[in-house]
Chain A
Amino acid sequence: MATAAAQKTDHTAPYDGDGTAATAGYERAFDAAVAADERIEPRDWMPDAYRATLVRQIAQHAHSEIIGMQPEANWITRAPSLRRKAILMAKVQDEAGHGLYLYSAAETLGTGRDELLDKLHSGRQKYSSIFNYPTLTWADVGAIGWLVDGAAITNQVPLCRCSYGPYARAMVRICKEESFHQRQGYELLLALSRGTPEQHAMAQDAVDRWWWPSLMMFGPPDDESQHSAQSMAWKIKRHSNDELRQRFVDICVPQAESLGLTLPDPDLKWNEEQGHYDFGAIDWTEFWEVLKGNGPCNEQRITQRRRAHEEGAWVREAAAAYAAKHSETGATRA
């Protein structure tokens, strides 16, 4: 986008190449840096496909953070106590922050903020499918914290060592904050699980509904994952989808036992030989359907996002007008 490019400051402007002879040398330097586990920084030369992959992944990640505010914000006004309400507000605010860290990281690759939001609003860029499921009861807030944030952490911890510096740094910050998200969810579910039979049933129902979608958060199985091999070679990704999914299952089973809740999978059992839990087949048709836009809340999430953006326009305009006026008077005084 022309405006975004024109606005780029020199120190963040991406290197835009100057002929093939020079590029060959740059490419060697890039490969060597990745091989040596060094970080690639914004103004370094990088292959176009590396840049495009990062923009796609970081944008999708940023969009997920801000769309992810909706299902939980749904319960803020109905939180059962002031303590729970304050916690939930802090968590939802953190997710907004995560979105901002990630949009900033994407911008260092030369893609402007408004271009990214445009692509989200017009459906040209995606966000995680998990946020297209509804939060039907208060227990869903707990299940999201425990399972959805839990799966996100499993995915994100290795990203702290991603080869692209700004993305890795954003992930370090995010991972620090995520651990509160997961623990508050676990604590919330525990309180319900140990509560009245109705509360216990509500917690179990939430876990039953969120378990499988959470496993889908790791993406399609390794043999169907389009971008995985290249991303691993570039050290954007450090572990395969299936590896991370298995790690998550292994972590969750004992946690569910401590909660006094069950996971909705009859095939879940310890495999002594493998040293892992075996688990049942994932319904990938559901995953692809939700991704295509046919999940329970796809329409609602994107409509709400667009409305929030449009209704905030006057605030952005007023702030810009104020800033312009302020700098004028400042200029005449000077």
Chain B
Amino acid sequence: MTNTDWPLWEVFVRSRRGLSHTHAGSLHAPDAEFALRNARDLYTRRGEGVSIWVVPSSAITASSPDEKDPFFEPAADKPYRHPTFYEIPEGVKHL
């Protein structure tokens, strides 16, 4: 039995209360409990986190890099979704 038999986990760390969990990296572990402990030792040795999520890498569905352009294209031609699109007379406040 080798390490390869241990599945890969993605680690997400909340650095402090009020912030969302952010992807920190990945690691191998035999089960979720070990993955959590390993993640603590690997990614929070200096108090970098107050909460950890571990997710089996195989459970993640990702968008395909091949379809990157058509997939995200619909957002590209809609500048009116940004506040800077609108012209407001000078002097108008709180807008």
- B84 at interface, CB cutoff 8 A: no
User: Which residues in chain B, 25-65, are within 8 Å of chain A measured between CB atoms?
Assistant: 25-28, 30-31, 34, 41-42, 45-46, 57-58, 60-62, 64-65
Q: Which of A1-9, A128-136, A229-237 interfaces with chain B?
A: A1-9
- A333 at interface, CB cutoff 8 A: no
Are B4 and A114 in contact, with the CB atoms below 8 A?
A: yes
From B2, B26, B31, give the contact of A323 (CB < 8 A). Answer: B31
Are B8 and A12 in contact, with the CB atoms below 8 A?
A: yes
Q: Please, what's the 1-or-0 string for A64-91, where 1 marks a CB less than 8 Å from any CB in chain B?
A: 0000000000000000000000000010
Count class of interface residues, chain A? 35 or more
Residues in B whose Cβ lies below 8 Å from that of A94? 45
Are A320 and B1 in contact, with the CB atoms below 8 A?
A: yes
Closest to A45 in B: B65
Closest to B11 in A: A104
Are A316 and B3 in contact, with the CB atoms below 8 A?
A: yes
Q: How far is the CA of A113 from the CA of B3 in the complex (A)?
A: 7
Are B57 and A11 in contact, with the CB atoms below 8 A?
A: yes
Are B4 and A12 in contact, with the CB atoms below 8 A?
A: no
Known: A41-B65, A94-B45, A104-B26. A327 touches B4 (CB 8 A): no
- A201 at interface, CB cutoff 8 A: no
Residue among B1, B28, B30, B61 with most chain A CB within 10 A: B30
Q: How far is the CA of A323 from the CA of B38 in the complex (A)?
A: 15
A97 to chain B, nearest CB (A): 6
Closest to A10 in B: B62
- B5 at interface, CB cutoff 8 A: yes
- 15 A-B pairs in the complex with CB atoms less than 8 angstroms apart: A4-B4, A9-B60, A10-B60, A10-B61, A11-B62, A43-B62, A90-B45, A94-B45, A97-B41, A97-B45, A104-B25, A104-B27, A107-B8, A177-B46, A322-B30
